[in-house]
Amino acid sequence: MSEMRKTPLLDDLEKGPWPSFVTEMKKAAAKSEMSNDLLGALEQCYKDKKTHWKHGGIVGVRGYGGGVIGRYSDIPEQFPGVAHFHTVRVNQPSAWFYKTDSLREICGIWDKYGSGLTNFHGSTGDMILLGTKTENLETIFAELSSRGWDLGGSGSALRTPSCCVGPARCEWSNIDTLDITYSLTEEFQDEMHRPAFPYKYKFKVSGCAVDCVAAIARADCAIIGTWKGDIKIDQAEVQRYAKNGMDINAEIVNMCPTKCITYNGKELKIENEDCSRCMHCITKMTKALRPGGERGATILIGSHAPFVKGAQLSQVIVPFMKMEPPYTEIKELTRKIWEWWDEYGKNRERIGELIERKGMRDFLEYIGVDPHPAMIKEPRRDPFYFWTTDELK
Amino acid sequence: MEKEEIKQKIYGLVEKSVGKKKLKSSDIQKTISAEAGIARDEVKDALRELIDEGKLIYTYFGGSFVEIPPKQ
Amino acid sequence: MSTPQRKTDIGPPHYKQFLPPVIQKNYGQWKYHEELSAGVMVHVSESGDEIYTVRVASPRLISTDFIREISDIADKYCDGYLRFTSRHNVEFLLSDKSKLEPLQKELKDKGFAIGGIGNRVSNLVHTQGWVHCHSAATDASGLVKVLMDEFYDYFTSKELPSRVRLAVACCTNMCGAVHCSDIALVGVHRKPPIPDHERIPNQCEIPSTIGSCPTGAISPDPAKKSLKINDEKCMYCGNCYSVCPALPIADPDNDGVAIVVGGKVGSLRNGPKFSKLVYPWLPNNPPRWPEVVNAVKGILEVYAKNARKHERVGEWVERIGWEKFFKLTGIPFTFQHIDDFTFARETWRTSAAFKW
């Protein structure tokens, strides 16, 4: 083991109350030459105010086209330990629940064959094992997969689906987010490991409109739990909130976007027909208010970050879908969406961008979904629109 | 069509494209299934075998592609 | 020792084996929850069963030693069960209330930050930065660390009008939820890429590189079998560099950090919102980025003072108006703030009513 890298700039980030990533890197560096050189390389970035990584490549495990991200230092002569420093993405269990024996098993593998550094978790949701050499990849994959762990997605493929804590520990969840996520992941293993799409495709599953996994902003397909019946009210609990200091008119009635709630000091009333199910009142008075009646999900398609021509949020495609195992409807809809994308999508074109380019009508007709006012904020403003010959005399 | 023959067609297509255009898995599936008049799943299956055997590999750089592995 | 037999296409382990017994028993039967403190909540089931959650921060970039340490704690107090949140916090789950105090004491003694629940600043969603990314225009872990050192009390105790979601993306790829966060930092470039004519013919596909540019600033240079950049059209987004490594765009003196505010993802009250630009550029000044920390602090404090209860940053700004936001925060308003890209038209004021 060579001497610890000197890192005067990074050392400053060990000060202060918040847990320090530099301390974590040093713990790993004490055991791993790779992590020691990572510290040195990062210190160099801090000095130069620029990154020292090169991207892309051909590394992976046999048969798969994703799950490993090739990464190479651009100053390998200075930091040979990170000449190769590839990432392994491991598909996390639904909602990020773990048992400690499994975590220790992964730590053992990673200390032996990798840098000992990880991310819990990456932005998409995978467990990230950060930094290993090309020659260790097959062994790592065998060690992981023989213990029941598989790789996640990368490249132009289905990315690892993820979900909120859902019915495991949340009273607001209208759907079984954990089971849906598991079921979709198992159904589409081939699409995850063998990239065949124009670009990435992400599923995120949230139990309600609070959307704790940011599905609406980050998933090509957002599955967001909702309900169709009336909100159930426990008037005694409403009174308890009032007694404990909640200003029900200011905090609930006046903040309701559809103004469907009234409160006369004794009783809270909701005009359920006018409720848009935004979740504000339910989250603020969780003991008093609960969704009622039929449960299901709204399916929204198309969000992505700003590349290429500006960010998009996902848009409503199916206003309400029942979500019961084996989730055949969402799986069939997904295959139709992919067929259309495969037919018309260009390299690196997300589904949301293609819908914008080809038009909603083309998309909806192909996937077999009828127009519905829930799909729009407002109808078109312009007088320019298509008719098909079938629609004309 | 025999699977070996499909595999040869796929490999030929990838070989022909070297230096011209990087092919995506879906490009290969579309081209071969149209040329040979066979189902895409058959092409997909043959492609998977070529990749499992290491004769072709996935590469990624501004998208995921199927290419011939570099000579060691 | 021989390598075990590999398996493919198995997917992740089934989640059920990782759920504590109290969750297995009460799955889908939770009735309500209460926030007991900044870092502790209890969920109560229809059956009357309870599960306590103690939330602590992690720096996201963690060593196996850290994982073993939290595993030891989970073994001691939680029968070996724990989970992570979407914002990189660790949650210790326990059904035995008597262990709650000893667990918190041990966590505090070991220096963990307990908090992040309720109307506070939670941990940051962020990206790899200089630690591991080729396109990073700034570091992410470092920015998170310096911000949360500053806002530590907003995680562990102090309340805000509503929850405040911070995020950091190290380039405009925005691998985090920066485009829909209350206050977010994004690494930006300010100079066009410089074509490396020797490498372009071998390393880059000309048509796809041209196609990657949102403003049409890239054209072929047939004489050199390479590419030309029209500097006047380039908006420095760096998408071409993702496709073609021979178009380096990093520039240490001109790269930096932009600040965007007012985004959210939930549909509560008034729907999800994009974050909007408030600081077009602040310098990369590692290791502590004082200019960036001060700017975020300024915004957060003005929000804390002026927003109404339950108003997220974006809702507050919409109520008071952006002209008043710039006045209250003192942030200089510049040409960069007026959109001249895809969504420009929707963002211009088309009414004669506004505040002085």
Q: What is the ipTM of this complex?
A: 0.97
Is the Cβ–Cβ distance between B30 and A32 less than 8 Å? no
**Chain A: residue nearest B52 by CA?**
A63
Report the pLDDT value the prediction gives residue A392, as an integer from 0 to 100.
Answer: 95
Instruction: Please state, in angstroms and rounded to a whole number, the distance separating the CA atoms of residues B38 and A346.
Output: 24
Please report, rounded to a whole number, the percentage of residues in chain C having pLDDT higher than 70: 100
B contact chains, 3+ CB pairs < 8 A: A, C
Q: What is the pLDDT of residues A256-269, one digit of tens each?
A: 999 999 999 999 99
As given in the structure block, the two tokens for residue B17 are 């494209």
| B72 found inside a domain | no
| B36 found inside a domain | yes
| A301 class by beta-carbon count within 10 Å (0-12 exposed, 13-18 middle, 19+ buried) | buried
Computed over every residue of chain A, the mean pLDDT equals 97
Chains A and C form CB pairs within 8 A to the count of 366
pLDDT tens sequence for chain C (356 residues): 688 999 999 999 999 999 999 999 999 999 999 999 999 999 999 999 999 999 999 999 999 999 999 999 999 999 999 999 999 999 999 999 999 999 999 999 999 999 999 999 999 999 999 999 999 999 999 999 999 999 999 999 999 999 999 999 999 999 877 899 999 999 999 999 999 999 999 889 899 899 999 999 999 999 999 999 999 999 999 999 999 999 999 999 999 999 999 999 999 999 999 999 999 999 999 999 999 999 999 999 999 999 999 999 999 999 999 999 999 999 999 999 999 999 999 999 999 999 99
Q: What is the pLDDT of residues A76-93, one digit of tens each?
A: 999 999 999 999 999 999
Q: What is the pLDDT of residues A18-73, one digit of tens each?
A: 999 999 999 999 999 999 999 999 999 999 999 999 976 789 999 999 999 999 99
In angstroms, the separation between the Cα of residue C308 and the nearest Cα of chain A is 10
Is the Cβ–Cβ distance between C74 and C80 less than 8 Å? yes
Q: Which residues of A touch C341 (CB under 8 A)?
A: 309-310
In angstroms, the separation between the Cα of residue B29 and the nearest Cα of chain C is 20
Q: Which residues of C touch B22 (CB under 8 A)?
A: 205
Instruction: Please state, in angstroms and rounded to a whole number, the distance separating the CA atoms of residues A94 and C13.
Output: 9
What is the distance of C-alpha A142 from the center of its chain? 27
pLDDT at A241 over 70: yes
Is the Cβ–Cβ distance between A182 and A205 less than 8 Å? no
**Chain A: residue nearest C252 by CA?**
A49
| Disruptive mutation site among B59, B61, B64, B67 for chain C (greatest number of C CBs within 10 Å) | B61
Contact B64 A60 (CB under 8 A): no
Instruction: Please state, in angstroms and rounded to a whole number, the distance separating the CA atoms of residues C233 and C240.
Output: 13
What is the distance of C-alpha A348 from the center of its chain? 19
Q: Any idea which residue has 């909640």 for tokens?
A: A246
Contact B51 A65 (CB under 8 A): yes
Q: What is the pLDDT of residues C83-94, one digit of tens each?
A: 999 999 999 999
Domain count, chain B: 1
Contact C74 A24 (CB under 8 A): no
Strands (E), A131-286: 162-163, 203-206, 221-227, 232-233, 261-263, 268-270
Instruction: Please state, in angstroms and rounded to a whole number, the distance separating the CA atoms of residues C296 and C93.
Output: 33
Is the Cβ–Cβ distance between A297 and A224 less than 8 Å? yes
Instruction: Please state, in angstroms and rounded to a whole number, the distance separating the CA atoms of residues A271 and C242.
Output: 51
Strand C226-229 with C256-261, pairing: unpaired
Chain B, window 4-23: residues with a beta carbon less than 8 angstroms from a chain A beta carbon: none
Q: Tell me the sheet residues that pair with C258.
A: C186
Contact B58 A195 (CB under 8 A): yes
In angstroms, the separation between the Cα of residue C176 and the nearest Cα of chain B is 19
Q: What is the DSSP string of C154-172?
A: HHHT---SS-B-EEEESST
In angstroms, the separation between the Cα of residue A104 and the nearest Cα of chain B is 31
* Ordered structural domains, chain C, with CATH: 15-109 (3.30.70.3340), 125-129+142-171+179-184+256-347 (3.30.413.10), 200-243 (3.30.70.20)
**A308: contact with B, CB 8 A cutoff:** no
Residue C258, SS3 per DSSP: strand
CATH number, position B42 = 1.10.10.10
Instruction: Please state, in angstroms and rounded to a whole number, the distance separating the CA atoms of residues C259 and A374.
Output: 33
Strand C256-261 with C276-283, pairing: antiparallel
Report the pLDDT value the prediction gives residue C350, as an integer from 0 to 100.
Answer: 95
Q: Tell me the sheet residues that pair with A223.
A: A205, A299
- Between B21, B22, B62, which is nearest C212 by CB? B62
| B28 found inside a domain | yes
Instruction: Please state, in angstroms and rounded to a whole number, the distance separating the CA atoms of residues C34 and A218.
Output: 29
The helix (H) or strand (E) run that includes residue C186 is strand C183-188
The domain of B48 spans 3-67
Q: Closest Cα partner for A106 from A77, A130, A72, A70?
A: A130
Contact C80 A99 (CB under 8 A): yes
Q: Tell me the sheet residues that pair with C201.
A: none
| C-alpha dihedral (B53, B56, B58, B62), degrees to nearest 10 | 180
pLDDT at A2 over 80: no
**Chain B: residue nearest A196 by CA?**
B25
Crossing angle between the packed helical segments A177-187 and A328-344, to the nearest 10 degrees: 50
Contact A194 B61 (CB under 8 A): no
Q: Which residues of C touch B61 (CB under 8 A)?
A: 243, 245
Q: What is the pLDDT of residues A168-183, one digit of tens each?
A: 999 999 999 999 999 9
Give C147's Cβ-side CA count (13 Å radius).
29
- Between C4, C64, C152, which is nearest A142 by CB? C4
**Chain A: residue nearest B25 by CA?**
A196
Report the pLDDT value the prediction gives residue C200, as an integer from 0 to 100.
Answer: 94
Q: Closest Cα partner for C238 from C259, C260, C263, C218?
A: C218
A contact chains, 3+ CB pairs < 8 A: B, C
Instruction: Please state, in angstroms and rounded to a whole number, the distance separating the CA atoms of residues A193 and A172.
Output: 33
| B35 found inside a domain | yes
pLDDT at A391 over 90: yes
**Chain B: residue nearest C208 by CA?**
B62
At A1, the pLDDT band (50, 70, 90 cuts) reads low
The radius of gyration computed from the CA coordinates of chain B, to the nearest angstrom, equals 11
- Between A56, A62, A196, which is nearest B26 by CB? A196
Instruction: Please state, in angstroms and rounded to a whole number, the distance separating the CA atoms of residues A35 and A27.
Output: 9
CA distances to A65, A158, C213 from A201, in Å: 15, 5, 21
Contact A197 B60 (CB under 8 A): no
**A243: contact with B, CB 8 A cutoff:** no
Instruction: Please state, in angstroms and rounded to a whole number, the distance separating the CA atoms of residues C311 and A280.
Output: 11
Q: Which residues of A touch B58 (CB under 8 A)?
A: 58, 60, 64-66, 155, 194-195
Q: Which residues of A touch B59 (CB under 8 A)?
A: 56-58
CA distances to B19, B28, B33, B58 from B7, in Å: 21, 11, 12, 16
**A335: contact with B, CB 8 A cutoff:** no
Contact B61 C212 (CB under 8 A): no
Q: What is the pLDDT of residues A141-157, one digit of tens each?
A: 999 999 999 999 999 99
User: Is the whole-model pTM more than 0.95?
Assistant: yes
Angle at A75 (CA atoms; ends A73, A78), nearest 5 degrees: 120
pLDDT at B72 over 90: no
Contact B61 C243 (CB under 8 A): yes
Contact A17 C149 (CB under 8 A): yes
CA distances to A8, A88, C45, C48, C57 from C95, in Å: 45, 34, 12, 12, 21
